[in-house]
Each structure stands twice: as C-alpha cells, then as structure tokens.
Chains A and B, each alone.
Chain A
Amino acid sequence: MSEGPRDVAIVAFAQSDHRRRTDELSEVEMVMPVLHEVLDAAGLTTADIGFTCSGSSDYLAGRAFSFTMTLDGVGAWPPISESHVETDGAWALYEAWVKLLTGEVDTALVYAYGKSSPGSVRDVLTRQLDPYYTAPLWPDSVALAALQAQALIDAGDTDETALAAIAGRSRKDAAANPHAQLPGARPQGDHVVAPLRTGDCPPIGDGAAAVVLAAGDRARELCARPAWITGMDHRVEAHALGVRDLTDSPSTRLAAERAGAFDPTAARPLDTAELHAPFTSQEVVLRKALGLGDDVRINPSGGALAANPLMAAGLIRLGEAAARIHRGESHRALAHATSGPCLQQNLVAVLEADPRA
C-alpha cells in the first residue's frame, strides 16, 4: 500500500525590522537575532534541527560564497545537514519541505537575508538578465516593471488611480506591522519610470527572516496551531520579456493549481493571500492569475510594498501567512513568492489550520 504524503507545517516565524540601511551590521549580525527568535518560538536549539536551508545572493553581498559566513552564525557544530539556494528563501523552504517529505528528518530551519543598501540595487538586478543580449543594455528593475505596468494599463486591466489604491491599502495595513520599513499612508509621489510612481515601487532595504518547519506530531508538539502546508509548487517562465504576455502569470496559476489552491473540495475557502508583488502593478497580475476575489484578504502585512528585503521578501510572505494561521486570524491562506524580472518565476503554497483547531 502506498501511504499519503507526510503532513508538514510551519510552526514558527521571525523577521528582522526592515530598514533602509544597516551599515553597523554584518549579514551574520543581522541574521543571528532572527535565528534565535525563531528557535526560541519553537522551543528548539540548533542541535534539535534535522535540516537547515538558506536563501541569499552573492551579488547583493558583493562577494563569492557569502553564505558561508552566515552559516558560522547558525552554529554548525557538530556538523549539520545543510543546503543553500542562490535565490529567495521561499525556495529554501521548498527544498526543506521536500526533505521533510522524504521522512529523513522531522524538523527544518529555513532562513534568508539580503542587504541591498551597500550598492545600487537597480543596477545590481540588471546582472540577472541574459548576459549576452540584455544585460549589456543595463535595463533596470524599475524600468522593466514599468513596461509591465504600461502593458496592463494598455490592456485595460488597471490605471494609475487603481495602482495608487493598492499602494495606499498596503502601507495603511503595514501600520500594524512593527517590522515594516514603510508603514502608514504616504503620497504617491512623482513618476520614477512612467507609469510607476514612487508609491508604486517597493522600498530598498535590508532584512532577514526565518521559519521552522516540522512534520506530523512533532509540529503539534511545537505549535498550538500549526500552519499545515497542504500543497506547494513553483514554476518558471521564459526569460525574454518579448516572448511573455506581461499582463498574465501562467506560472503562478499553474503553481497554484498544483498546490491545490483551486481545490473545489477544500473544506474552507481561501481567506488570506500574501502575494510577493514588489510593484503595485504586479499585484494586479497576480490577483488575476489566481482569480482572487474581494473575499480574500490581500497582504494584511503590507506586503513587499512596505518592506522588500531581497532574497527574504518571498520567505516573509510564507511566514506572514503562517503567522496569521498561528494567531487564529486565518484558516486557509495562500502564500506566493517570486524571482526574476517581471514575475518570471513563481512559487505558491497553500497553508491551512487543522480543521478541528
């Protein structure tokens, strides 16, 4: 007889206060308090963790093998079972989830961090484009997002007023988030790259986040109301913007379908969605791709418009969605993370409280 897949849950989440600059902190110093906080929340020590996985980027750190120093902060002695993804920590969480599904371990620690302040992040991100044809032109991340926003406006999917409303709602919600970098109402400002205004763009900042995963009864021991991962999937699209419909996100829709987000037999409807949309226009794309109605609470944390520490912002979406379940504010939540220009790569997880809890 084949058995069903293992039940795995997010049992703890912690994040730093996200700030424009953290000149006084190394990456290790930025990550360590978050690691201590998440382990304390789960009542665990490093020695109790079965598998550790992290997400970060050498290009942000400005040096090769930058994650090796952060690992020292984890306290990898005696030696630990550990891995790293050179992308957002949401994908590190995915790798850890798979490891738990194999049954080899019962707990996992996932962390991610990024400091954007030491360089010009708009310039840095151009280096992730096709190195032969596109990167030499240095098209920056805001300009590419503006292309996408203009395509949406041209298609009649949104307008500048609607985008401003998304910005306003996000920052208003962020007022209740003590970690947010841009909390509270603020003016939309001038165009950065038309049609995107200052308010349509995410803040540039430094930050870190961490999550503890556990399987089955171990999760129930560690958390009163675990956020069970009932499905998770991620998909990538073509890289070249010219071959993609920028007003849609088929990879998000497919990942959501594979994660069970549209399961008609689900006992409860989705009530929350934490979407990794650094630009207001990208929320429009994602809502459409996911078919989210007004009955779903979008980004109660304020989302990436309120704090966007690169390589951690996607993991934070999973953490925020889970924390809402931990607090009893959600029963079934969708969490989304993205990577690459104009939503090229997308991950979707569906998190649920135990129906009895």
Chain B
Amino acid sequence: MSKEPVAVVGIGQTRHAAARRDVSIAGLVREAARRALDDAELTWADIDAVVIGKAPDFFEGVMMPELYLADALGAVGKPMLRVHTAGSVGGSTALVAAQLVAARVHGTVLTVAFEKQSESNAMWGLSLPVPFQQPLLAGAGGFFAPHVRAYMRRTGAPDTIGSLVAYKDRRNALRNPFAHLHEHDLTLEKVRSSPMLWDPIRYSETCPSSDGACAMVLTGRTGASRAPRPPAWMLGGAMRSEPTLFAGKDFVSPRAGRDCAADVYRQAGITDPRRQIDAVEMYVPFSWYEPMWLENLGFAEEGEGWKLTEAGVTEIGGDLPVNPSGGVLSSNPIGASGMLRFAEAALQVRGQAGEHQIEGARTALGHAYGGGAQFFSMWLVGDRPPGT
C-alpha cells in the first residue's frame, strides 16, 4: 500500500513570553491556529480533524484541556485527538497528524501544541513526590546535569562549549520576532559569568519558562497543489521510546535517539546527514545538549560533537546551522517546543524563515525529545515531494 505524501502548507506560532496575561489558554492556541490557517489561506471549514498536544496537564492545572479547547479550535463536529509523550510531544503530535494524512483517513489536518506555563508552576508540576521512585528534585535541570557532566568527562570537551551554544542561540533569537528572549546586550562573558544552577549548567545556559503555541496545517498532494506558498514535504518521520532507568541506558547518547534518527534517514534516503541536511532545529533545553545531540543524530562521530560547535559549524553562517530560530534556549513553551522545532525546519525549506532563513536550505531536520531522555520524535522535511 502506498502512503499519501504529507505537505506542510500552513505554519503559525504565537509571540512567546514568560506570561501571556492578555490571552486565555483558548486564546493562546487560537492565535497560533489562526496564523497557520492564514498562512495556508484556508478557513476552519477546510479542516477535517484536529490533533493537539501538550506536556503534562499539571503545567496548567487543567485535566484533558482539549475538551475545553474544542470550541476555540473549530473542532466541534470533527475528530479531535490529544497526544501526550512528555517533552517530545510537540513532535509526536505533528507525526500523529501526519499519519492521518498519510493513511488517507483525512485530507487536511490542523495540528496544534501549546504550553501556558504561567497558569501554574512547571517546577512544581515536575517535582510531585512519588513513593518508591527516584525524586526528580529540582525540575529537569537537576536530572540532566549529571548526564552533561558525563558527556564532558567522556569526550574531554572543554568547559567553555556550553556557553558558546547559549550565546549563539540567544543571538539567533534576535532575528526571530516570535522568540521569548531577546537579549540585545548579551555577551559571551555575561553567559560565562552567569550563576551556576546545576553544575555544570549555568543560568544563561538554560531554557526559559514560556507561554506559547505552535500550529501547522498538513495535507496531501491535492491540498499541496492548491497551497498559496511553497509547501514543505515530509521526507521521513519517526518516534522511539526507551525506559527511563535501567543499567544499560546511555544517558549521554540514548539508543532511542540514534534509532529514531536512523529510521528517519532511511525513509528519506539520507546516507550522510552532515552533508545532505542543510539546517537543523534540535531540542536543546540546556546548552550542552547541542554537542550531545550532534553525535546522537549522526552529524558527528562519537566524542567529536563539541568540535563542530567550537569551530562555528553550527552558527547561522556555518555549514550545518543548528537552531537558527534561537531554539528551546530562547523560547520554551514545553508542550509546543517540539512542534516549534518541526515547524521551524519546515519554514526553512519553504524559504519563509525571515531574518533567520538559511540561504538555499532544501532539507531540514526537526527534532524533539522528552522524559528522562527516553522519548524521541523527529521529522525530515524538504522543498520537494518524496521520491523526487
């Protein structure tokens, strides 16, 4: 059975901020959805189904918020599916929506992901004590810091790498009008001297807590032929999961991430990702994850990822730009962060990324991960349909 090719014909995102007090949760998701529809020049009536994702319900204090959001997203009378796969959810949600199109169950699907962190307290949401289980203690940073330290020990990376990533991503964010953090007066020295939070992770190397949403309109060949702007075509997409804690787990380079990337590259016919992929939006909530994921995703040999960062390869002007949008380090509405990576990859190959456009980008990777570095979702998009 042949699958329907999947095209991204509309992309919308909100302005991200620490607290969007000007909108309700419904107003926030509608802002992104409305922009995606406008981009595709479609109306709510053109949408056959809605697939929505966000990270834990405790982050807003609303159980199954999709029920309440049905009206705001024009879903009344339509199928509405809610996805939740921890931090990777924004990516997974887009992939579930893409499958509805690929399987020809629906022609045109709206997919939305959001987080309105200001409604509640994410640190609290992540730190509820659970009997007989390892406490997460101080949110995500406390969990990931030892794995960053393990990466440094394993590879001999100098301790200056993390600040280079943060400085790069925050400068990239200055070109992205939707980004939460616009630190015009940032210097590398300021990053390096920012307070140490979870050694070796400094304050300026961590993601902010953001309110925000992202939406995309996905459709098949017919829908793409009517699109007013160039579509991005999905060339490959995959999810992989592995257990949180077990003796054989490699927290520095989880196998689920490697397998997921390999599956996406196989689908897309990518044999040399470093050469064949023009732009990468990867999920880097703490700066050191850029070199770590460069290795995990096959862009660098084991132990070599930090050298690409150090040499400037991942800068906007480098030959493998990573997070030209400013990335998760500059805007982190958790549930939407994965979809933002997927959407930014699609913007790049559509030539619609504005001031952070990578010139001539024809193939781009969107990457998301979540849980204890155990859930992965990725897609590879291109400026031409699969098989051409």
Q: Are B83 and A85 in contact (CB under 8 A)?
A: yes
A251 interface contact, C-beta 8 A: yes
Asked if A79 and B259 sit within 8 Å, CB to CB, the answer is: yes
Given contacts A79-B254, A131-B119, A236-B78, 13 further A-B contacts (CB under 8 A): A3-B1, A3-B2, A71-B244, A72-B244, A79-B240, A82-B85, A82-B239, A83-B83, A85-B83, A87-B64, A95-B83, A235-B79, A236-B70
When distances are taken between beta carbons in the complex, the residues of chain B under 8 Å from A78 are 242, 255, 259
| Among B92-100, B167-175, B305-313, B337-345, the stretch in contact with A | B92-100
Q: How far is the CB of A148 from chain B (nearest CB, A)?
A: 16
A-contacting 9-mer, from B38-46, B123-131, B201-209, B268-276: B123-131
Chain A neighbourhood of B69, CB < 8 A: 239
Q: For A131, give its contact among B68, B82, B125, B254 (CB under 8 Å).
A: B68
Whether B65 pairs with A131 at a CB distance below 8 angstroms is yes
A77 with B243: CB separation less than 8 A: yes
Q: Mark A177-191, 1 if CB is under 8 A from B, else 0.
A: 000000000000000
Among the listed A71, A233, A254, which residue makes an inter-chain contact with B241, where contact means beta carbons less than 8 Å apart?
A: A71
* Interface positions of B (Cβ within 8 A of A): 1-3, 24-25, 55-71, 75-86, 92, 96, 99-100, 102-105, 119, 125-126, 128, 130, 132-133, 238-246, 248, 254-256, 259-260, 371-372, 374-375
Count of A-B contacts with CB under 8 A?
Answer: 190
CA distance A188 to B137 in the complex (A): 48
Which residues of B sit under 8 angstroms from A98, Cβ to Cβ?
A: 96, 99-100, 103, 105
Give bound CA distance, A102 to B99, whole Å. 7
Give chain B residues whose Cβ lies under 8 Å from the Cβ of A234: 79-81
Pull 14 A–B residue pairs with CB atoms less than 8 Å apart, ordered by A.
A5-B104, A63-B128, A65-B371, A76-B243, A79-B242, A81-B238, A82-B240, A84-B85, A95-B83, A98-B103, A127-B61, A128-B63, A135-B62, A239-B70
A57 is an interface residue with CB less than 8 A from chain B: yes
- Least CB distance from B262 to A in Å reads 11
In the assembled complex, the Cα of A79 lies from the Cα of B371 at a distance in Å of 14
CB of B339, distance to nearest CB on chain A (Å): 15
Question: Residue on A with the closest CB to B75?
Answer: A236
Q: How far is the CB of B106 from chain A (nearest CB, A)?
A: 9
Who on chain A is nearest to B88 by CB? A83
Q: Once bound together, how far apart are the Cα atoms of A72 and B299, in whole Å?
A: 29
Report yes or no: B371 in contact with A128, Cβ–Cβ below 8 A: no
Q: Determine if A239 and B71 form an interchain contact, defined as CB atoms under 8 angstroms apart.
A: yes
Closest 10 CB pairs of A and B: A64-B56, A79-B256, A101-B103, A86-B84, A82-B241, A128-B63, A127-B63, A59-B63, A103-B1, A79-B242
Contacts of A80 in B (CB 8 A): 240-242
Q: Which residues of A contact B (CB under 8 A)?
A: 3, 5-6, 26, 52, 57-59, 62-65, 67-69, 71-72, 75-87, 91, 94-95, 98-99, 101-104, 124-125, 127-132, 135, 233-240, 250-251, 254, 339-341, 344-345
Give A247 to B84 CA distance when docked, in angstroms: 32
Given A64-B125, A78-B259, A81-B240, A128 contacting B77 (CB threshold 8 A): no
Bound CA–CA A257/B164 (angstroms): 57
Q: Most chain-B Cβ atoms within 10 A of its Cβ — which of A86, A102, A131, A254? A: A86
Q: A128-B68, A235-B77 are in contact. Are A68 and B372 (CB under 8 A)?
A: yes
Contacts of A240 in B (CB 8 A): 71
Contact yes or no, B67 A340, CB < 8 A: yes
Are B241 and A79 in contact, with the CB atoms below 8 A? yes
**Would you call A85 and B82 a contact (CB within 8 A)?**
yes
How long is the Cα–Cα vector from A344 to B256 in the complex, in angstroms? Answer: 37
Given the interface pairs A77-B242, A130-B68, the reply to whether A64 lies near B59 with Cβ below 8 Å is yes
Q: Which single member of A58, A124, A239 contacts B58 (CB below 8 Å)?
A: A58
Contact (Cβ within 8 A) B79 A233: yes
Q: Once bound together, how far apart are the Cα atoms of A129 and B133, in whole Å?
A: 31
Known: A83-B83, A84-B83, A234-B79. A339 touches B64 (CB 8 A): yes
